[in-house]
Structure 1
Amino acid sequence: MFNIDINSNKTLYISIYESIKNNIEENKMIPDEKLPSKRSLAESLNVSTVTVQNAYNQLLAEGYIYSKEKIGYFVSNIDFYFNNTRKASDFFNKVASKDEKINIDLSKNSINTKLFPFSTWSKLMRQVISENYDLLLDKLPNAGLWDLRVAICQYIKKYKDINVNPNNIIIGSGTEHLYGQIVKLLGRDKIYAIEDPGYQKIYKIYKSEHTNIIHIPVDDFGMRTDFLYSSNLNGKSIDYIHITPSHQYPTGIVMPITRRSELLKWANESNSRYIIEDDYDSEFRYTGRTIPPIKSIDNNDKVIYINTFSNTISPSLRISYMILPDKLVKLYEKKLSFYSCTVTSFEQYTLARFISQSYYSRHIRRMRKIYKNNLDEIVRILESSKISNKIKIYKEKSGLHFVMKIKSKKNDLCLKKDAEKYGLNLSFLSEYSKFSQCENSICIVNYAGIEPHIFNNIIDILDIIM
C-alpha cells in the first residue's frame, strides 16, 4: 500500500514518510491502526531498517503516528488536522461537532509530570517509614528538617557554588509562602522593587501583603540599575529588589555578570538594602554551564536566595527554601521563630534522601536532556511550518518557556480571544507589564508540559487567527 518511487530525487526515507502520510490524510489508514514493524517494512521495500526508522521518526515528530513501547507504531487520530484552504469556521464546526475541541494552554508554566521518578520516590518513602517511623510524628524545627537543610547545602555547594550553613536555610511550602515570610521579616513599610514586565504572582503576593511596590523596567540584560537610583515612592528610595536573573519571566532573559555586579554594587551601598534572588528555572540551561546565582558571588551577605523543587520534581510537591544572610537569620529567630514549619516531616525526610543519594541530580540531568530535545523539536516544527515566515523565536536556549514574535495586524487581546475559540490559551508579554511599553504580539510559550507533536495543532490555529 506504500507507493515508493525509487527513481525520485527525494531520499528514500522522505518517500516512505510522504507515502504513509498521504495514506493517513486520505483515510486509507484508520486511527489506531498498527503500522508494519520496521524490519518487515524494510524487507518488503528492500531498504534498510534505518531508512524506515527515519521515516517513522519524522511521522512521530509531526504527530501522524504514535508509539507504544515494545509494541510498535500506530496511526494517530488526525481528524483535527486541516489544510491551508479550509476556512476557520469549517475547522471550528468540525471540532465542535465531534466534541473534540482542542484544549492547549501555552500560558501555564507547567512541567511534564510523566518524568516524575515514581518508583524511586516510593522506594524512599518506604525506607523513611521503616527507618524513621518513630520520628515522623515529632514536631519539626520551625526552619525545617535538619537532614533536608544539610542535603540542600551539599547540593548547592556542588552544583551552584553556594557555600552556606544549614542554619541559614528556611524550608517552606512553596515560594509564595516564603515571599510572605520575607515581607514579615523585612517589614511592610519598606519599598520593594519588582521587575516590569515580571511574574504576576510576585506582584500579587507583595500587594496582598500591603507593601510599597515600585516597578522597575527590564532591558536586554535584566532589571535596570539606573532606575533603582532614580526611583522613589513619596520621597523614599528603594530598600529591596526582587529579581529572577537565571531566566527572567516572562522575557526569558539570562542576566549577564555585568548586570549582576551592578545590582550587588547597589545593594552594598547601604546596610539596609537586600537583593531577593528568585533562582527560577536555573536548572534548565541547555548550552554551556549553568549560570552561577548572584548568591555565589555575594561577598557581603546581601542576597536572600530562593529556590523551589516544584519545577524540577512535581508542582504538587510544595517544598521551597530560602537562604538568609547571617544578620537576617538572627532577625528571623527573633521575629518569626514562633511559626511552625509548613511542610510535613514525611516529605522532608523523603526529599532529603532523594537529594543526598544523588537521585535528584540524576533526575535533573534526565529532565534537562528530555526538555532540550523537546525544545529542539518544537523549534524545528515551528521554523519549518507554513507560518515560519510569520513568527520569530527568541531566548530558546534555557528555561521552560520561550518567547515568540507573531506577525499580525491584530492586537494582543484580539489574538488571545480568537485563539480561545479553538481551545488555545495564549499569553502575551504585554499582560505582564504594569508600566513598561511592550511590543505587541510577543507570545509567551510555556512548552514543558506539552508534547512536541501538539505544536502541529497550534500552528494550524495560529495560521487561522493571525
Structure 2
Amino acid sequence: MFLYDLAGAPGRSLYDRLTGCIRRDILEGRLPAGSRLPSKRCAAAAWGISVVTVMAAYDQLLAEGYLVSEQRRGYYVAQVEQWEMHPASAVPSPLGIADCPVSEQTEQPDDVIDLIQNRVPPDLFPLSVWNRLSRRVWREEGQALLRRTDYNGLPALRGAIRDSLYESRGIRAEAEDILVSAGNEQLYATLLTFLGRKNVFGVEDPGYPLIARLYGQNGARVVPLPLDAAGVTPDALETAGVNILHISPNHHFPTGIVMPVGRRQELLAWLAGAPDRYIIEDDYDSEFRMEGRPIPSLQSMDGTGRVIYVNTFSKTVAPSLRIGYAVLPPDVSRAYRERLGFLSCPVSVPEQYILAAFMTDGSLARHISRMRTRCRGVRDALLAALAASPLAERYTVSAADGGLHFLLHLRTTLSDIALCAALAERGVRVRSLRDYYAVPPAADTHTLVISYAGLSADCVQELVRRLDTV
C-alpha cells in the first residue's frame, strides 16, 4: 500500500489531496491498470484519515474514470494511458443538423409544468446584494464606468474569473488570456470568426441544437458525431475529417455522460495529431454537479495549448446577464490579440464591474451553494416521488448525479412523438431524448429529458401524477 503525505496544503482539503495523490500515481504508472486499491477501512487506518474521506476520494476518481468498481470486491485502477502530469493539472449543416428548439423563454400558463426551460427561479437571486454592489460600484468607480475597457474585458472581472477557475476547476490561466463576451452565442460566433469558417466543426449527437445551428448559419461546415458510452470517439473524428471539436466532456447534455480520463487522453492524442486541430470545451454547468467535486477540466490536462475552455454566467447568475467567457491558451491568446484585438468588448462596462464585485466578495459562491442545495432538494423529492408512485415498476433513471437534468426511461408502447404530445395535453412541457438528435435513431428512445431546475417542491407530486396517466 502506498503511504501518502497528506500534510496540510493551503486551501486544499484532505479529500482534494488524497484524490490528487491517487490520480497522479495512476497517471505516472505507480498504480498500474488492474491494481486493487485498499479497502476504505484499511486505507483510512493507514493514511490516518476518516473512512468518509477515503470513500469520497474513491467515488470522485470513479466518476472521472480512473477507477472501476466491482461489487463485493472493491475498487480497481482503470486502463489509463500513463502520462507525465501537465503542470496545469497539479491542482486538482450539410448533414441536416436539427433546427434549434422553440424558444425556452416563452411564458407558460400557471398550470403548465415546464421541464424544458431549465432555469432556477429568479426569486433565489440575491437582488438586494446585487443592488448594494451596484451602488458601491457607481460611487467608487465614477467616470471609469463610462470609458471603454480592453478588447477582452475588464481586468478586474478577468482577474476574478481567473481566481475562481483556479479554485474550482484547477485551471491555471493568466487574466490577459481570458476573453469576456456577451453570452455564449456571441462567444461561439467570435471563436468561429477567429478560427475560420473553412474548418470542419464537429458537434456531439445528440447535443444542444443551438451550437450546430449557430456554426452552420455562420457559414461553417458542421458534422454531427455519434457518441458511445464514453462520448465522442477519435475514429468518428477521423472519418468525418473534423478539425474543430466542440464538446461538453464534464457533463454532456442531454445524455449526462461524464467523459472518462481514458477517452480524454484519446481525444488529446487526436488533437496533437495535426496543428490545425482545436477543441472547444463547453463547461456549461459544472457548478451544479450534485455528488462529489466538479470533474477536472480537459484544458487542465492539455499539453498542446489548443483546448479553448468556455463557460457562461447565464445559469449561475441570471439568463438576462449576457456574459460568457473563454480561456484561451497563451499562443491562441496572442494570435487572437493580433488578429481581433481591434474589436470592442461587447459587454456593458458597469455590468462587468458589478459582476467582478459579486465574485470577489464571495456573493457568487454563496449564491451557487444555495442554488445547488435547492436544486438537489427538488431532484431528491422528485426521485422519491417517482419511486413511491405507480410508475415505479415501469421506469428507470440515469444521469442524475450532475447538472440540472436527468433522463427518465419509460416502458411504454407510445412513440417518442406521441409520448410528448400526450404529456403536453396533460400540461407537461417536455422533450424526448430523440428531439436532441441531428441524425435520429432508428428506434424510439422512450426517454424523457427531465430538466428540473425550475420546478417547485409543491408541483412534484402533481408532475408524477400526470406522468403516470400516459
TM-score range, shorter chain: 0.7 to 0.9
Residue in 1 that maps onto 2:158: 149
Matched AA of 2:239: S
Asked if 1:451 corresponds to 2:460, the answer is no
User: Would the aligned equivalents of 1:102 and 1:422 in 2 still touch at CA under 8 Å?
Assistant: no
Classify the secondary structure of the residue corresponding to 2:245: strand
Classify the secondary structure of the residue corresponding to 1:292: coil
Cα displacement (A) at 1:453 = 3.0
User: Would the aligned equivalents of 1:101 and 1:422 in 2 still touch at CA under 8 Å?
Assistant: no
CA deviation vs aligned residue, 1:273-294 (integer Å, no higher than 9, x gap): 1110000210111212210110
Mapped partners of 1:155, 1:240: distance in 2: 27
Residue in 2 that maps onto 1:463: 468
Asked if 1:255 corresponds to 2:253, the answer is no
Matched AA of 1:316: S
Asked if 1:424 corresponds to 2:413, the answer is no
Cα displacement (A) at 1:101 = 7.0
Asked if 1:208 corresponds to 2:217, the answer is yes
Mapped partners of 1:439, 1:259: distance in 2: 28
User: Would the aligned equivalents of 2:306 and 2:332 in 1 still touch at CA under 8 Å?
Assistant: no
Residue in 2 that maps onto 1:303: 307
Residue in 1 that maps onto 2:331: 327
Match of 1:378 among 377, 382, 387: 382
Classify the secondary structure of the residue corresponding to 1:464: coil
Q: Structure 1 residues 373, 101: closer, same or farther in 2, change over 3 A?
A: closer
| TM-score normalised by the chain length of structure 2 | 0.74
Mapped partners of 1:181, 1:293: distance in 2: 22
Mapped partners of 1:410, 1:365: distance in 2: 39
User: Would the aligned equivalents of 1:412 and 1:441 in 2 still touch at CA under 8 Å?
Assistant: yes
Matched pairs, number: 361
Asked if 1:238 corresponds to 2:242, the answer is yes
Mapped partners of 1:439, 1:265: distance in 2: 35
Asked if 1:268 corresponds to 2:272, the answer is yes
Which residues of structure 2 form unaligned runs of 5+? Answer: 1-108
Match of 1:283 among 269, 287, 305: 287
User: Would the aligned equivalents of 1:382 and 1:455 in 2 still touch at CA under 8 Å?
Assistant: no
Residue in 2 that maps onto 1:435: 439
Cα displacement (A) at 1:348 = 0.4
User: Would the aligned equivalents of 1:241 and 1:276 in 2 still touch at CA under 8 Å?
Assistant: yes
Match of 1:193 among 202, 207, 216: 202
Mapped partners of 1:394, 1:243: distance in 2: 20
Residue in 2 that maps onto 1:31: none
Residue in 2 that maps onto 1:19: none
User: Would the aligned equivalents of 2:114 and 2:454 in 1 still touch at CA under 8 Å?
Assistant: no
Which sits farther off after the overlay, 212-221 or 455-464? 455-464
Q: CA RMSD in A?
A: 1.5
Structure number with larger C-alpha Rg: 1
User: Would the aligned equivalents of 1:113 and 1:449 in 2 still touch at CA under 8 Å?
Assistant: no
CA deviation vs aligned residue, 1:394-420 (integer Å, no higher than 9, x gap): 110110111111221110111111222
Mapped partners of 2:225, 2:380: distance in 1: 33
Classify the secondary structure of the residue corresponding to 2:223: strand
User: Would the aligned equivalents of 2:160 and 2:360 in 1 still touch at CA under 8 Å?
Assistant: yes
CA deviation vs aligned residue, 1:404-438 (integer Å, no higher than 9, x gap): 11221110111111222222111011111122526
User: Would the aligned equivalents of 1:160 and 1:292 in 2 still touch at CA under 8 Å?
Assistant: yes
Matched AA of 2:465: D
User: Would the aligned equivalents of 1:196 and 1:436 in 2 still touch at CA under 8 Å?
Assistant: no
Q: Structure 1 residues 414, 366: closer, same or farther in 2, change over 3 A?
A: same
Classify the secondary structure of the residue corresponding to 2:317: coil
1:8-407 to 2 correspondences below 5 Å: 102-231=111-240, 237-407=241-411
Classify the secondary structure of the residue corresponding to 1:331: helix
Mapped partners of 2:112, 2:290: distance in 1: 29
Mapped partners of 1:253, 1:383: distance in 2: 23
